[in-house]
Structure 1
């Protein structure tokens, strides 16, 4: 029996908070959820400098750790557990943390990431050699050094089918040998109060001495998954072993739960933004950190109230993040799109606008001439609707949003605001709301960096649900074990 881990199990019965080390923490979505679930953040590793800066902005350094060390960006491949412990002022890395969490980079596993890599390299199987796909092995090295009593891993569902290989199953088999009991499943954020259809794999592991198999939180909301999500689940679950799998059936919402939070409920109280087309100079000068007042005389949804009053992140009267992209060619298209319209419909609208513009010309240019092509370019986007059907999408205010991605950092057309009068894509703060970051959560860096951080993050409300469930299971099992040990000693 591992004495270090046994000491941590005993500590869990004393009311002390479970201490967390998170790898690939990003800007802190999972950390925020775990902190809100009652866990203590004592260390994190993140190599992206803006994300690491955001983390430090929002989470105070533990006692004895300098602000510089807490803010420092670190590559988990280059920064080993012992080196990290020294930098964080922890004398023994095996005794410093109870929970090891990780939102391992998903780009190598996600099918959209595989397609992008294939287009760059021309190699159908290039994703297999992406070094980010091997970071889970580095995670296991951290497990050996840290000796946690619990672990949480989050990733995209496609990690279940990485070229026909089920990586979570491999991780679980390795952790079995290391003395842990493991489970994994798929959770959709919309079922846990997040206004977004975001499907993710979660893997949880406990020290075998706790005597329990990990389970997952029951949904707090009901939602109807679009057909595309059901199809993606089928593909992802194709390589679950028929015998001996560590997979647990996906939790199902029971009757009577509140409906999933809609986009309108999530964003309706945030400021209207029109400067991008009324006064572009003002928008160019605006920074992510600039504050703007909330809309006046708006009834707050329960979700909006939560975002304003989240403990440690309360806001009063205003919030930041009201920056959007300046793409004037497309604003009239956004205005004419209906809620739920995608790129093929946007392209037809643009073609209609171009045709109408030609009819207004006193001298029409010859088709395919230089002047004709120039005129067309000023109205019509260049993307092939066959290859990019989901490149544009106008939010449906009555339903949860589609999945936010890191690609928001380069192109936010996948989430166009439903209000045609505003004729724009979503702002940084709106993206943060859709990901369940509270309004007092600040983002370091400029607009692109903020969008990327948000799209990469674990939704805090989903992480909170997982964290509360994990903490409850650990404390209950540890307490039961302690009582049993005491009874055995008395009997002896």
Structure 2
């Protein structure tokens, strides 16, 4: 990398310029939103999914066409991206690169080192998903950012015994960066969701800084499943302590911090949607949902978290009312949702359904004969009991607790929302698009492109903006401290061999 370019970027930042960000694999913009509110300039994004790309352009560039079109990173060079966005010279275009290749990119990499993949890409020519990693490195090499942020699932630390994060650090160090990674849970940073992710930060050596991660702002005792997931992810580090030199232990959350934001904190001020009443009145039916119909907030006093969601700078709640507050049409299951207890998963839901069937059957037999196995018997069963094997799908459903953060939202929300059944039995439904956005910490003024299923998918795929804000704030502090104190190493960058 050209040391002069790095020094020019640092000089521009020292003069008060905002760090200019490129978000790769940007989705609808969870990371972008956190960096924007922390004072960065969102200058460009690369996203392949058309709906997510339109959402990103809508929220960060007023829907400008050049920022709203999907981009295939495997077919778009850094120079072509700059030309498309009208940014001029490639090396001068961005100061920070954020994002992270989807974890599927590493599915067939095996145990070979990622540095070897970069040096010998022909070995992986038959696996296009590996190209996502190569493209990420190509973009970092071309844009020469002063800082990098990557995000991925915790299992990236133990992918078939391979530590992808450590190997990524090896590559970045060879390119002139200091690097570190850790595991962070969103619930410790004010997000009403227990979402565990790996984050990797890197800074140019010219800044003369060390990697550090933000301190938690909230406290929670994580359920056993999350601690277990973290232990599995860290297994490779425990077995290869000598090689795990870039891992940084997460800053601890202490009991003196405020308690984690709960599902009720997040959703309590949103207008209720009583699904059974709407069904009885014929006001909900199968078909597309309109996102643009505004609704008023409930009269319940909003929590401190709800205030943040309503007043997020640049994405304030619409004056005409809340949008995207729409739910799935699930007529078979509304009554079952009402029967479920907080924390119930699919096996418990199935038992409740069988009990409901037996009650309905007994009532029917008071009036007429209903033989087991008859068409009426089967029709009654199908109208009440879900068809999934309770022994094979234990985690398919879950009714939320109102006094805890929600469990992890997944992209699977785009197919169904049974993983997040509303805690309010009166409403008896799965969460709405806007409620999913609240649980992920997207502000009420953030708009989602596409229909309901793509919107759910975009939300589930995103990095929680409040967690991204915490990381971005720490990165901004680190960069400002470096440039303000003129801690710039003017020595020529050492060769890759010397620093690896």
Match of 1:327 in 2: 330
Unaligned runs of 5+ in 2: 108-125, 491-500
Match of 1:446 in 2: 451
Q: 1:401 is matched with which residue: 392, 397, 406?
A: 406
Structure 2 residue matching 1:12: 3-state secondary structure? helix
Q: Give CA-to-partner distance per residue, 1:189-231, whole Å, 9 cap, x none.
A: 0000000000011000000111122110000111111100010
Instruction: Give matches, 1:6-405, under 5 Å.
Output: 6-60=7-61, 67-106=64-103, 131-132=128-129, 134-240=131-237, 241-244=240-243, 245-274=245-274, 276-282=278-284, 284=287, 286-296=289-299, 298-315=300-317, 316=319, 318-362=321-365, 363-405=368-410
TM-score using structure 2 length: 0.89
Q: Give CA-to-partner distance per residue, 1:379-415, whole Å, 9 cap, x none.
A: 1111122221111111100000000000000010000
8 A Cα contact 2:208 2:487, kept in partner = no
8 A Cα contact 1:280 1:326, kept in partner = no
Structure 1 residue matching 2:22: 3-state secondary structure? strand
Residues 335/59 of structure 1: CA separation in 2 closer, same or farther (3 Å cut): same
CA distance in 2, matches of 1:389, 1:447: 25
8 A Cα contact 1:394 1:416, kept in partner = yes
8 A Cα contact 1:289 1:442, kept in partner = no
CA distance in 1, matches of 2:282, 2:15: 57
Residues 48/369 of structure 1: CA separation in 2 closer, same or farther (3 Å cut): same
8 A Cα contact 1:109 1:158, kept in partner = no
Residues 16/157 of structure 1: CA separation in 2 closer, same or farther (3 Å cut): same
8 A Cα contact 1:184 1:204, kept in partner = yes
CA distance in 1, matches of 2:159, 2:95: 30
Unaligned runs of 5+ in 1: 111-128, 486-492
CA distance in 1, matches of 2:161, 2:282: 49
CA apart distance, 1:131 = 4.2
CA distance in 1, matches of 2:144, 2:271: 47
Root-mean-square deviation over aligned CA pairs: 1.9
CA apart distance, 1:133 = 5.3
CA apart distance, 1:369 = 4.4
TM-score using structure 1 length: 0.90
Residues 306/186 of structure 1: CA separation in 2 closer, same or farther (3 Å cut): same
CA distance in 2, matches of 1:207, 1:193: 30
8 A Cα contact 1:343 1:392, kept in partner = yes
Q: Give CA-to-partner distance per residue, 1:356-381, whole Å, 9 cap, x none.
A: 12212234444344443332111111
CA distance in 2, matches of 1:131, 1:156: 20
8 A Cα contact 2:206 2:487, kept in partner = no
CA distance in 2, matches of 1:35, 1:339: 36
8 A Cα contact 2:58 2:64, kept in partner = no
Residues 272/49 of structure 1: CA separation in 2 closer, same or farther (3 Å cut): same
